[in-house]
Structure 1
Amino acid sequence: MNEQVPHDKSLDNSLALMQEGYLFIQNRVDRYESDLFEARLMGQKVICMSGQEAAKVFYDSERFQRKGAAPKRIQKSLFGVGGIQTMDGKAHIHRKLLFMSLMTAKHQKRLAELTIEQWQASISQWEGAEKVVLFDEAKDILCRTACDWAGVPLKESEVKERADDFSAMVDAFGAVGPRHWKGRRARNRAEEWIRGVIEDVRAGKLGAEEGSALSAMAFHKELDGSELDTQMAAVELINVLRPIVAIATFITFSALALHKHPECKEKLQSGKSDYLEMFAQEVRRYYPFGPFVGARVRKDFSWNKCKFNEGMLVLLDMYGTNHDSRLWENPNEFRPERFEEWEGSLFDFIPQGGGDPAKGHRCPGEGITVEVMKASIDFLINKVSFEVPEQDLSYSLVKMPNLPESGFVMKNIRRK
């Protein structure tokens, strides 16, 4: 029992988590004036923590492991059962190097180029449309882009269904009931599809360009020299494709930020490349994406007057750390200029996790996210003009994950 650590009074916080969403941890950090507290979720004792120092501890692989942290319901919708997010130690580092090899500057550049081509190709259809919902378009565009870049064959008639499935897996993260089951069904369909593609490559029925994500996953060798089984190769290839499609959320929030902050739009039109980078990073910091991340205590230790017992579940507050007033001046203001002075700490800015991506569990695709966002923001500002009709652009911090309610409707779209 941690006597010196605040304990949330509720018998079980699961309902409160559903009712408070992204702010669940932050609300209690503020209430107890403590960076960590104990709570009960789904009947088990959990330590919740927030802030830069907490992130440093959380990403110490001597103290924490991922095995047993992601509930099966999240593996069966978002990550895939047994995927890289649930691995530890040497096996994790070996598998992580496979992902890192697909996320190099060269791959980032190629994905950004393909994204631009897809946006450009869409303009002629949009010009004749009464209205366009940006989130839906971005999802389809990024699905085409991801599959083209990865070497995965995708018929035009399949694009919408595949994009919707990737999106449904992400949407199931914080959901119970119909949204969760929709995500599970989407994952089953996607795994069946990608398993078939991997089998065709291995049987020589389908070519896979060397260096492509498809080739890398189909022929990856584990530490013991064995190939990934077909199911695991499919899970990991989906773990490359799905996050690229999920960038549609950041693109939609980018459009919302441009609409709400016309002064940013003017600066972006002036063509300063560093401001485009700062703007993309501020979108990732300010708007809701990942709420928190979980791990299990590897072995007993104490930190900040709190005893962490082996096997205990710990949640790190990503959203709260990105809005921590000790790290970010006026954190609830949207201000890209704050990234002028930012020194690139691995633990104060964690929209897709913290720590070193090569050694730990931070998302290796952050560079891809930023480059695809920059290409898309530049397109929305400099390649098309459009009107933003009256619509519900609100988003709730309760629903996890989240999006502007309308998906960002655009009309009267014209090529510039």
Structure 2
Amino acid sequence: MSTAPQETGFDHSLAFLSDPYRYISSRCRELGSDLFETRILLQPAICMSGPEAAAVFYDPERFQRAGAAPEPLQATLFGKGGVQGLDGAAHRERKALFMKVVEPERVAALAGFVASEWWSAARRWQDEDRVILYQEVVQLLTRAVCTWAYVPLAEDEVDKRSRQMARLFDEAANSGAGHLRSRYARRRLEKWLARLVGDIRDGRYAVPRGCAAEAVANHVDADAQLLPVEIAAVELLNVLRPTVAVAVFIVFAAHALHAHPECRERLGGDDPDYEDAFVQEVRRCYPFFPAVAARVRVDFDWAGVHFPEGRLVLLDLYGSNRDPRVWEAPDEFRPERFLDRTPGAFDFMPQGGAEPYGNHRCPGEGIAVTLMKQAVGFLVRHLGYQVPMQDLRLDLSRLPALPCDGFILSDVRVLEPQGRGRTQAQHRPEARL
């Protein structure tokens, strides 16, 4: 068998980290191939891009997730022992927990809490000279998801916990102090949630059956045992943290509304299909996850290339979502493209490919889409604001690639009567002392 094109040089970790979103696709174009061999983190790796490569990458007979994520990401973004690093029956059993937590009626309930937080935040913003949207949305999502999940959060803890949540995905890939802050934030959050799991199991904190905190605390794993308290804390955080991370997608949506005012005008009407198409185009175009990692389970050959057992493989998500073989004018922002077609599981992968139930596609994708559509509707129909002079460039050298100034709003005004009440009756878990 022939071998894949090889990138020259000893190690390319710095090249990847300096341009994480475009590194794989640009090298594939230069080398004229959908895959190439390189060295990342001082170990041999194969990088892949495109829908055909994705279909192979998500074959569980060929690839596994165990041992794929670098330790720095396990210690920050994912947590050690969580669902992302499982395979086979263990993964299916653990994934079933998350799919139950994110059933449509539960997502709808979460959206109700988020809606209330949008209104509360908007009224508060009217009294401020300027608002950094990213920071504010992180806070409002932290409040909402903790309320929804029955995780007690005192008012004086909101700022601390929201900053800790954000550090898990906003500073995980940083070097130096930023990465250390991310590690410390995870330790503090896991300790906080482990106490909560213990209290639920011991009957010191009563929660309704089926809420996220109860479902995780009392989940029986593939070995017919409750999860160890420390792992349960990791998995409860794997419910909270991705929901808070939707703040990144919401800021991207606000950026797209500003960059494409013609879309804002059309979104002002009552066209749910276009609203969905707009959100999906934001997810396709904007840079959230650059790539996903796996290891070869057993030796195999594909496309004239040998994949040895244990080899690290990276699948390009950002570049695959802009593949010109799949998407016409892939670098143009065209929501209409989603009105004409339903993309396949390996054509459109903003949060992973394949299907979510038995594979490693993100179970929180429905939450992301729902909360993005809700945010777009609120920004278009219920919030007046100005976008003052600022640096709106997306910093593609950082993860995630947010607008450089976090997307600043000024002259905020609510476009609904101030007396508007909560969208539904809300529970408020009592804060732990």
Confirm or deny a common fold (TM above 0.5): yes
2:183 partner letter: R
Task: Report the TM-score, using the length of structure 2 for normalisation.
Answer: 0.94
Question: Hey, what does 1:116 align to over in structure 2?
Answer: 115
- Rounded to whole Å, the distance in 2 between the matches of 1:32 and 1:173 is 30
State percent identity of aligned pairs.
46
How far the C-alpha of 1:344 sits from its partner, in A, is 3.5
Aligned mates of 1:153, 1:49 — CA distance in 2: 43
Equivalent residue number for residue 164 of structure 1: 163
Distance in 2 of aligned mates of 1:114 and 1:344: 31
Corresponding letter in the other structure for 1:21: P
> What pairs with 1:313-332 in structure 2 (closer than 5 Å)?
313-332=312-331
Tell me, yes or no, if structure 1 residue 41 matches structure 2 residue 40: yes
Q: Give SS of 1:386's match.
A: strand
Asked if residue 127 in structure 1 is aligned to residue 119 in structure 2, the reply is no
Matched-pair contact (CA < 8 Å) for 1:78–1:172: no
2:65 matches 1:101: no
TM-score with structure 1 setting the length: 0.98
Give 1:348 deviation, angstroms: 0.7
Partner SS for 2:363: coil
SS in 2 for 1:412: strand
Contact 2:250 2:372 in 1 (8 A): yes
Deviating above 6 A after TM superposition, structure 1's stretches of 4 or more consecutive aligned residues are none
Secondary structure at the residue paired with 2:318? helix
Check conservation: 2:51, 2:320, Cα contact below 8 A.
yes
1:23·1:398 contact (CA, 8 Å) conserved in 2? Answer: no
- How far apart, CA to CA, are the structure 1 residues paired with 2:123 and 2:22? 42
Q: How does 1:347-386 map to 2 (within 5 A)?
A: 347-386=346-385
1:345 aligns with 2:344: yes
Q: Deviations over 1:307-332 (max 9, x none)?
A: 00000000000000011111111111
Amino acid at match of 1:225: A
Give ranges in structure 2 of 5+ residues lacking alignment.
Answer: 416-433
* 1:347-388 deviations in Å (ceiling 9; x for gaps): 111111000100100001101100011111101110110111
1: distance between equivalents of 2:18 and 2:169? 19
| 8 Å contact kept, 1:138–1:248 | yes
Name the structure 2 match of 1:68. Answer: 67
Letter in 1 for 2:312: L
Amino acid at match of 2:326: L
Output the CA distance in 1 between the equivalents of 2:19 and 2:371. 31
Hey, what does 2:191 align to over in structure 1?
192
- 2:198 aligned counterpart, secondary structure: helix
1:211 aligned partner, one-letter code: G
Secondary structure of 1:381's match?
helix
Q: What amino acid is aligned across from residue 300 of structure 1 in structure 2?
A: D
Distance 1:4 1:195 in 2: 48
1 CA distance for matches of 2:334 and 2:7? 34
In structure 1, list runs of 5 or more residues that go unmatched: none
Q: 1:410 & 1:139 partners in 2: Cα distance?
A: 15
Give the residue type in structure 1 aligned to 2:157. E
**Contact 1:147–1:153, Cα closer than 8 Å, also in 2:** yes
How far off is 1:220 after superposition? 0.5
Which residue pairs with 1:287 in the alignment?
286
Question: What is the aligned residue count?
Answer: 415
The answer to whether the 8 Å contact 2:281/2:334 transfers is: yes
Deviation, 1:396, is 1.9
Q: Is the 8 A contact 2:291 2:317 kept in 1?
A: yes
Contact 1:115 1:376 in 2 (8 A): no
* Aligned counterparts, 1:138-287, within 5 A: 138-287=137-286
Deviation of the 1:3 alpha carbon: 4.4
SS in structure 1 of the partner of residue 20 of structure 2: helix
User: Following the alignment from structure 1 to structure 2, what is the Cα–Cα distance between the partners of residues 168 and 253?
Assistant: 18
SS of the residue 1:319 aligns to: coil
Shift of 1:207: 0.9
Corresponding residue for 1:9? Answer: 8
CA contact (8 A) 2:394 2:402 kept: yes
Letter in 2 for 1:119: W
Q: String of CA shifts for 1:28-83, please: whole Å, max 9, x gaps.
A: 00101100000011111100000000000000000000011011111111111111
Q: CA RMSD in A?
A: 1.0
Q: Secondary structure at the match of 1:411?
A: strand
- The aligned amino acid for 1:49 is M
